[in-house]
Amino acid sequence: MNKQLINIPKSLLCNCIDECFANKPAEDGYKLWLRYAPLPLETIDALKPRIRGLMSGAMSQTLSIACTELERGLSSMLLDEFACVSTTVPFDGAILFGTAKDHPLIAEQRLLLEPLGKEGYLIKSVEIDDASVTLIVGNDDMGVLYGCFAFLRMVQSGMDISQLHLASVPKLDLRMLNHWDNLDGSVERGYAGSSIWDWWTLPDYQDPRYADYARANASIGINGTVLNNVNASPMILNGDYLKKAAKLADIFRPFGIKVFLAVNFATPCVLDGLETADPMDALVRQWWKDKVAEIYKLIPDFGGFLVKANSEGQPGPGDYDRSHADGANMIAEALAPHDGILIWRAFVYASDPGTDRATEAYDEFKPLDGAFLPNIMLQVKNGPIDFQPREPFSPIFGQITETPVVLEFQVTKEYLGQATHLVYLGKAFEEVLRFDTYADGEGSTVARIIQGEIFPQRFTGMAAVSNIGNGRDWTGGIFNQANWYAFGRLAWNPELNSEDIAREWVRLTFCSDEAFVEPVVEMMMSSHETLVDYMTPFGLHHQMATGHHYGPGPWIDDLKRPEWNPSYYNQADEAGIGFDRTDRGSGAIRQYAPELWGLFGDKHGFDEKYLLWFHHVAWDFKMKSGKSLWDSLVIRYDTGISNVEVMQSTWQELKGYVDCRRFAQIEAYLAIQLREAKWWRDACIAYFMEVSGLPLPEGHEKPGHTLDYYKSLNHPFAPGNPE
């Protein structure tokens, strides 16, 4: 056994023995985008005159976090030692951070700070008594902390900081992660290990990772977190678990992050034996008031609840013939005296199995618009189905006008290749945000809707289903970190450009060398389209296998409910393929603004990316390219695969720029992605060939196996699958 010389991959050994090529120490991804890697010496030389010391005044907990962050970040990037000094004597190259009331020099500047509002910041180069000083200021401590993180981003990116004048204000009030974490430590749709919350040892033991989590979120402006799964265990509201949640809230507080909990509508019955959870029952109403009061004693700044009701088996007011508004109002009433908010999810379907699933949320909630109490927000998934690789926007955006609407994205890639596929979601999020709803004429983009620019909202917000787990790199893969990052940045400002965000992330996560940055950004920017191509081109959706949603299953047609079947969504038959949502079909397009009816209803007119979402189309339908739909479909699948191959070769060429450990992970993941892309292509083409009876267009390879083979595959231990 001893003498066998079987190859160990170099990547592995080099981690194991701390040796890396290119003299780059192996990194495990734990530091995320806050690596504070030393800058090139010429950049240091250029920055140094402007960054000679840190000045501050009085220190709150939040400002002392800002101080530490600046000390740590600048010391590491500029290879020098920085320490905050409490002084009122200006000096050249000082970075002065705080609020106007913390420091007289800030107050003396008479800056126009009012527009910064809550949480906004101003970074400004000024001269004070002949000294060049960089101010990082806000109206409140969180604004200052956000400004410090922004300043550190600029330094890490090697930007010129000599003439700064940058004000930034978050455009949404609530920028929130939703953890689908169960109390047993499993994570629904989690592909990065188990939950980072060790409920079992909380509140006694506080894993240092909790603070690292808060810091990472604060660095990108996230200010709320729902700790537990929307398929909520009633136990989360048990006194023991509330103490655990309160401990997390204590840790997160100085980082500006409020704790929310997902709650189960039937909790009064399950936890305390009430006979009903009927929202009109006086005992039930009192139960919620008492429970909320108990929570606010433990967590004075508790954010509120998130509720998934009467959806996918969850209990809800419908169990008692009450409306969503009845249920929501009862809980919101309990929260209101404490300034808590209730976020009610609009993700419902199957109330009537005969209808198009895409129409159901709108049908259910549109009539209730206006019936909700003022501290209620409606949380709406970006599309009308369920986080598919591509969906048009949900018609609720723009059509629900009297209830604040929170946009819900999914950062964890349940339907997008899960942990291993390289898919930059910033691009996909941007596509949704820039979609024009025409709700109040042209320019009524989803981004403007959720900012309350079209219809005023008392609160605004954006939420994302988290991809965070206890894996060392947090997200089960380095590139998945970019999706957490992009969500945070877009929640701060939904108008940001996804390519700029990608570029920023690459610089912080790897390095600022353009020869590396640009190819990687290009790879990221095309990655979403690539996935759509090999998975669900031209508006196809929900073609994933059952339960775990891993891999293709377009043939599946035997599940209990029609809308659980991929075949329900592809509607593929001898004649054609696609879901008819025009007036000839489900009529779903009528849920959108009239300006869109003609566009979505015309199979020749609109973007072919959405063709099969809205239309059942003949196989020989002539696409804009002049080719038939069938030929075009096959071409798309193959384009997807060749684009993954391009990513692979791009990555190989970048070998010298990345430490061996992260390089090897991405290399291995791309190999998995390529294999699975081919599996998707082959399985889908095999099925559609059988259904259509059509031969492959010339020059395209036959699937590697028979359709029966693809049907026979099963994956009993696929991760992230709920019970």
Residues 449-488 that bind its own copies (CB under 8 A): 470-472
Site for its own copies in 497-526 (CB under 8 A): none
| Residue 173 annotated to the active site | no
Site for its own copies in 580-599 (CB under 8 A): none
Site for its own copies in 524-543 (CB under 8 A): none
Closest C-alpha among 116, 260, 173, 170 to residue 457:
173
Q: Which is nearer to its own copies, 20 or 463 (CB)?
A: 20
Tell the residue number behind the tokens 């970190």, with chain if given: 481
At its nearest, how many Å lie between its own copies and the CB of residue 610? 32
Q: Which is nearer to its own copies, 12 or 575 (CB)?
A: 12
At its nearest, how many Å lie between its own copies and the CB of residue 19? 8
Helices (H) and strands (E) in the chain, counts: 23, 16
At its nearest, how many Å lie between its own copies and the CB of residue 201? 6
Q: What is the DSSP letter of 390?
A: S
Q: Please state the φ and ψ torsions of residue 187, each to the nearest 5 degrees.
A: -125, 115
At its nearest, how many Å lie between its own copies and the CB of residue 402? 28
Q: Could you say which of 129, 312, 352, 495 is catalytic?
A: 312
CA 148 to chain centre: 23
Q: In the set 107, 131, 159, 211, which binds its own copies (CB under 8 A)?
A: 211
Q: Which is nearer to its own copies, 174 or 634 (CB)?
A: 174
Q: Which is nearer to its own copies, 140 or 631 (CB)?
A: 140
Tell the residue number behind the tokens 């600048």, with chain if given: 74
CB contact set of 312 (below 8 Å; sequence gap of 6+): 231, 350
Site for its own copies in 64-103 (CB under 8 A): 65, 68-69, 72
> 259 has which bridge partners?
225
* Angle, CA 49 vertex, CA 43 and CA 55 arms, to 5°: 115
Q: Which is nearer to its own copies, 92 or 212 (CB)?
A: 212
Cα–Cα distance measured from residue 564 to residue 571, given in angstroms and rounded to the nearest whole number:
13
Q: What is the CA radius of gyration of the chain?
A: 26
Site for its own copies in 222-241 (CB under 8 A): 235
Using CA atoms in the order 72, 77, 83, 85, what is the torsion angle rounded to 10 degrees? Answer: -120
State the helix-helix crossing angle for 660-692 and 478-492, rounded to 10 degrees: 80
At its nearest, how many Å lie between its own copies and the CB of residue 560? 24
431 binds its own copies (CB under 8 A): no
At its nearest, how many Å lie between its own copies and the CB of residue 296? 13
Q: In the set 10, 16, 286, 701, which binds its own copies (CB under 8 A)?
A: 16
Q: Which is nearer to its own copies, 186 or 632 (CB)?
A: 186
Count of residues interacting with its own copies (CB under 8 A): 73
Instruction: List, as one string, the DSSP characters of 248-263.
Output: HHHHHGGGT-EEEEEE
The answer to whether 19 and 10 have CB atoms below 8 angstroms apart is no
Q: Where are the beta strands (DSSP E) in 270-358?
A: 304-307, 341-345
Which one-letter amino acid corresponds to residue 395? P
Q: Which is nearer to its own copies, 270 or 599 (CB)?
A: 270
**Which range of residues in 42-50, 59-67, 397-405, 433-441 is near its own copies by CB under 8 A?**
59-67
Site for its own copies in 147-186 (CB under 8 A): 183-186
Q: Could you say which of 173, 181, 364, 414 is catalytic?
A: 414
At its nearest, how many Å lie between its own copies and the CB of residue 292? 18
The answer to whether 439 and 432 have CB atoms below 8 angstroms apart is no
**Which range of residues in 126-134, 360-368, 429-437, 663-671 is near its own copies by CB under 8 A?**
663-671
Q: Please state the φ and ψ torsions of residue 177, each to the nearest 5 degrees.
A: -95, 145
212 binds its own copies (CB under 8 A): yes
At its nearest, how many Å lie between its own copies and the CB of residue 132? 28
Q: Which is nearer to its own copies, 293 or 671 (CB)?
A: 671
Q: Which is nearer to its own copies, 244 or 285 (CB)?
A: 244
At its nearest, how many Å lie between its own copies and the CB of residue 141? 4
Q: Could you say which of 69, 386, 529, 676 is catalytic?
A: 386
**C-alpha distance from residue 102 to each of 140, 141, 311, 552, 641 (Å):** 10, 10, 49, 58, 57
What number of other Cβ atoms are within 10 A of residue 130's Cβ? Answer: 7
What is the x/- site pattern for its own copies, positions 687-716, by CB under 8 A? -----------------------------x
Closest C-alpha among 500, 501, 505, 461 to residue 481:
505
Give Dmax (Cα) for the chain.
82
Q: What is the DSSP letter of 354?
A: T
The answer to whether 404 and 460 have CB atoms below 8 angstroms apart is yes
Closest C-alpha among 136, 142, 131 to residue 166:
136
Q: In the set 81, 130, 558, 717, which binds its own copies (CB under 8 A)?
A: 717
**C-alpha distance from residue 566 to each of 66, 549, 589 (Å):** 50, 11, 21
Q: Which is nearer to its own copies, 56 or 186 (CB)?
A: 186
The answer to whether 178 and 224 have CB atoms below 8 angstroms apart is no
Q: Which is nearer to its own copies, 144 or 462 (CB)?
A: 144
Q: What is the DSSP letter of 154?
A: H
Q: In the set 10, 13, 160, 297, which binds its own copies (CB under 8 A)?
A: 13
| Residue 499 annotated to the active site | no
| Residue 312 annotated to the active site | yes
Q: Please state the φ and ψ torsions of residue 81, each to the nearest 5 degrees.
A: -105, 125
Q: Which is nearer to its own copies, 102 or 431 (CB)?
A: 102
**Which range of residues in 79-87, 245-253, 389-397, 592-600 is near its own copies by CB under 8 A?**
245-253
What is the x/- site pattern for its own copies, positions 183-202, by CB under 8 A? xxxx------xx----xxx-
CA 646 to chain centre: 26
Q: In the set 10, 12, 115, 286, which binds its own copies (CB under 8 A)?
A: 12
Site for its own copies in 255-284 (CB under 8 A): 256, 258
At its nearest, how many Å lie between its own copies and the CB of residue 199? 6
Q: In the set 80, 301, 583, 620, which binds its own copies (CB under 8 A)?
A: 301
Q: In the set 95, 124, 140, 637, which binds its own copies (CB under 8 A)?
A: 140
**C-alpha distance from residue 355 to each of 369, 467, 563 (Å):** 21, 32, 9
At its nearest, how many Å lie between its own copies and the CB of residue 135? 19
The answer to whether 601 and 591 have CB atoms below 8 angstroms apart is no
665 binds its own copies (CB under 8 A): yes
**Which range of residues in 16-24, 279-287, 402-410, 534-542 is near its own copies by CB under 8 A?**
16-24
At its nearest, how many Å lie between its own copies and the CB of residue 528? 22
Q: In the set 300, 337, 562, 598, which binds its own copies (CB under 8 A)?
A: 300
| Alpha helices in 469-585, H assignment, sequence order | 478-492, 498-509, 514-535, 566-570
Instruction: List, as one string, the DSSP characters of 639-673.
Output: HHHHHHHHHHHHHHHTGGGS-HHHHHHHHHHHHHH
Q: In the set 60, 87, 231, 628, which binds its own copies (CB under 8 A)?
A: 60
Which residues are catalytic, by number? Answer: 312, 386, 414
